[in-house]
């Protein structure tokens, strides 16, 4: 069967999904939406998938393959940031659908947030890969649910803290250390909830990738 999903093709599919979700989270993340019980960036809809994918990859392929996903994601984000910055700086032509000012409002204001997201992504994902491997060795390969959640919960806190401080600290006098932490805690707790809910998907993803 020429289009059968081999291990390599499944891995490539997860890599494409990983990169796609990473770019999507950064491009749509500027909007704060109401989820009725709480308010958060719409990027939260796809960002937990990133940690889920690296956990699945590390469980099946090992630590080095998971790091490879992180490095590829980092390279893609840097390219997107570079191209976005150029696009904002270029003057708009008369026949442009949007003016340079309108375009700058959408993409220009996200550059600092994009940088914050890149740095937060890299350090949190590298911690997630390390922590998952630590718990896997500690439990001798048992209790996938434990290493999936233990690694993700701390990594999500790192990601949220790094992102919030780089993106918003001292943006205005309002954004003091205390105020930024007041934003971090509830936002992290929301991510914790999402992380706990993805545990069954981690088991399903590992089973699907292994083909058993």
Asked if pLDDT for residue 154 goes beyond 70, the answer is yes
- Model confidence at 18: pLDDT above 90: yes
Residue 192 — very low, low, confident or very high, per pLDDT cuts 50/70/90? confident
Q: Whole-angstrom Cα distance, residue 77 to residue 20?
A: 11
Neighbours of 188 (CB within 10 A): 18
Instruction: Say if CB 80 and CB 110 are below 8 A apart.
Output: no
- In this structure, what token pair is assigned to residue 79? 């390219």
Question: Above 80 in pLDDT, residue 212?
Answer: no
What does the pLDDT read at residue 116? 86
Distance CA 159, CA 125 (A): 8
Q: Is the pLDDT at 34 greater than 90, yes or no?
A: no
**Distance (Å, whole) CA 99 – CA 23:** 24
Q: What pTM did the predictor assign? A: 0.85
Q: Rounded to whole angstroms, how far apart are CA atoms 26 and 28?
A: 6
Largest CA distance in the chain: 64
pLDDT at 3: 54
Residue corresponding to tokens 């291990």: 7
| Window from 12-26, 47-61, 81-95, 155-169 with minimum mean pLDDT | 81-95
- Span 164-179, mean pLDDT? 82
The pLDDT of 176-205, averaged and rounded, is 86
State residue 2's pLDDT score.
54
Query: How high does pLDDT run on average in the chain?
Result: 85
Residue 90 has pLDDT above 60, yes or no: yes
Per-residue pLDDT at 1 exceeds 60: no
Q: Which two tokens stand for residue 37?
A: 């019980």
Do residues 23 and 50 lie in contact, with contact meaning Cβ atoms separated by under 8 Å?
no
Q: Report the alpha-carbon angle 189-192-195, nearest 5.
A: 160
């Amino acid at each position: 069967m020429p289009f059968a999903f081999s291990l390599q093709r499944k891995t490539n599919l997860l890599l494409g999904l990983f990169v796609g979700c990473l770019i999507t989270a950064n491009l749509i993340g500027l909007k704060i939406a109401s989820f009725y019980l709480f308010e958060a960036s719409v990027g939260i809809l796809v960002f937990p998938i990133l940690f889920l994918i690296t956990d699945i990859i590390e469980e099946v392929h090992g630590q080095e393959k998971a790091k490879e996903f992180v490095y590829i994601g980092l390279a893609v984000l840097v390219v997107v940031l570079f191209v976005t910055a150029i696009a904002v700086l270029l003057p708009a032509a008369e026949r442009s659908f949007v003016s340079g000012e309108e375009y700058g409002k959408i993409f220009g204001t996200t550059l600092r947030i994009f940088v914050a997201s890149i740095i937060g992504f890299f350090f949190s994902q590298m911690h997630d890969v390390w922590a998952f491997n630590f718990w896997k060795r500690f439990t001798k390969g048992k209790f996938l649910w434990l290493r999936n959640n233990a690694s993700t919960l701390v990594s999500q806190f790192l990601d949220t803290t790094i992102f919030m401080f780089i993106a918003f600290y001292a943006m205005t006098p309002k954004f003091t250390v205390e105020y930024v932490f007041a934003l971090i805690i509830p936002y992290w707790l929301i991510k914790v909830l999402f992380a706990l809910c993805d545990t069954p998907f981690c088991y399903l993803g590992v089973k699907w990738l292994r083909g058993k």
